Amino acid sequence: MVASGKGGTGKSTTAVYTGAQLAAAGSRVLLIELDSGLRSVDIIAGVYGKTVYDIEDLMAGRCAAEKAVVQSPLYPGLSVISAPYSGGQIRPAALQRLTEGFAGHFDFILLDTAAGMGDAFRAAAAVSELALLVLTPDPVALRDGRIVADWLYAHSRVTPRLVLNRVDPARQHKSAVPDLDECIDTVAAQLIAVLPESAAVQRAAAAGTALPENEPAFRAYHNLAARLRGHHIPLFIR
């Protein structure tokens, strides 16, 4: 599961680009968007206009599974199930049946949750093994991330890992949170990735185009995916 606490931290972007890098390494990846009413994964993954059915249709039995799964034209090996534009409710039992049904067909299933700890978050926590907490290095995001991490420790079997996003080393010393160690201590979760501030990521996500391979952010997502696959990759900060 990919979670954030507060919104605007780059959770969905991280979910798509991490899934893309897992797929590029040869894994079969399914990204399920659970953020009903605020969907964005379809644009970032390049499947906007190609989706007919969404996660609500699938869980309600209005379509067969294969009709809701759309292959990303940008990232071979990455499949997407979009959230509905409005309405819909993510039910834990239905999500568990869905993910169990897909488990034999994919190596990784990523659940892009909604901000906060509502129904989508709790349903994802009931079926997930790992949580990527995507946070920006600012006091509000880190505080909310700690609340999420504490809830996961207390109420689930999910292992939380910290992904610090939009980190700008040139400006970090001027920030209210001056170093990465303070971020880790605040959230109380092991750091798994540092993703740099990147105008290229913002442009690619907004336009639904592939992230250029020569961008530092591309390498950072590649390293995150490699760590998820069990490889030891030293921390890279631009």
As a whole number, the mean pLDDT across the chain is 91
Nearest to 59 by CA among 35, 83, 75: 83
Indicate the pLDDT class of residue 37, thresholds 50, 70 and 90.
Answer: low
Is residue 233 a part of any domain in this protein? no
Percent of the chain with pLDDT over 90: 72
Q: How far apart are CA 125 and CA 121, in angstroms?
A: 6
- Asked whether residue 44 is assigned to any structural domain, the reply reads yes
pLDDT at 116 over 80: yes
Which residues neighbour 106 within 8 Å (Cβ) at sequence distance 6 or greater?
Answer: 28, 29, 30, 79
In a domain, 89, yes or no: yes
pLDDT confidence bin for 180, thresholds 50/70/90: confident
Task: Please report the pLDDT score of residue 60 as a whole number.
Answer: 83
C-alpha closest to that of 31 among 43, 230, 18 = 18
Residue 235 in domain: no
Neighbours of 217 (CB within 10 A): 23
Q: Which domain holds residue 180?
A: 2-228
Helices 180-187 and 139-155 pack at an angle, to 10 degrees, of: 40
Specify the range with the lowest mean pLDDT, choosing from 37-51, 116-130, 210-224.
37-51
- How do residues 56-101 score in pLDDT, each as one tens digit? 888 888 899 889 999 999 999 999 999 887 666 788 898 999 999 9
Q: Which residue has the tokens 């610090």?
A: 164
Cα dihedral 133, 136, 141, 142 sign: positive
pLDDT of residue 177: 64
The pLDDT confidence band at residue 32, using thresholds 50, 70 and 90, is: very high
Between vectors from CA 12 to CA 8 and to CA 17, what angle results, nearest 5°? 125
Residue 138 near residue 10, CB atoms below 8 Å: no
Q: Does residue 205 lie in a domain region?
A: yes
Total number of domains constituting the chain? 1
pTM of the entire predicted model: 0.93
Structure tokens at 227: 């760590």
CATH number at residue 215: 3.40.50.300
Question: Across the strands, what pairs with 93?
Answer: none
pLDDT at 187: 96
